[in-house]
Amino acid sequence: MSRYLILLPAPEAEWAQLPPEEHEKGMASHGQFHNDLEAGGHKLIAVSPLEPSAQATSMRPDGAGGATVTDGPFTESVEQIVGFYFIESDDEADLREICARFASRGELIEFRRLEQCNG
């Protein structure tokens, strides 16, 4: 079985200002995605929204053998990763189709297959 990370990028500031009916529409879309995954036999390992990027902590090498720790995300960008799905599946084509239907309902998705590690 292969593992996949479905990243959910979104413009955080815009999302926070959406009216309640748009948030409800989004929750219904996620519910349908969950149903589609289950119907397709895909195993949902973990799913979660993330705290706002302003609450992130970035850590970078400081060039002297240590790390520089700063508040906030690595990049200043309109879109940040706001959530994820971690999925196991033996049918990538079907999983991609389910993700495409999810995206067609207005969701932004980045589909990533995890590399197999030896060792």
Topology given in CATH for the domain delimited by 2-113: Alpha-Beta Plaits (3.30.70)
Residue 72 is predicted with a pLDDT of 74
Which residue type sits at 86?
F
Percent of the chain with pLDDT over 90: 60
Which residue type sits at 49?
P
CA atoms within 13 A on the CB side of 68: 8
For the stretch 9-51, pLDDT in tens is: 988 878 778 888 988 999 999 999 999 999 999 999 999 999 8
For the stretch 68-97, pLDDT in tens is: 888 876 666 667 889 999 999 999 999 999
Is residue 61 predicted with pLDDT exceeding 70?
A: yes
- pTM to 2 decimals? 0.83
41: left (phi over 0), alpha (psi -120 to 50) or beta: left
Please name the residue ranges forming H helices in the chain.
Answer: 12-16, 20-39, 92-104
Residue 77 is predicted with a pLDDT of 64
Residue 52 is predicted with a pLDDT of 86
Going from N- to C-terminal start, the domains of the chain cover 2-113
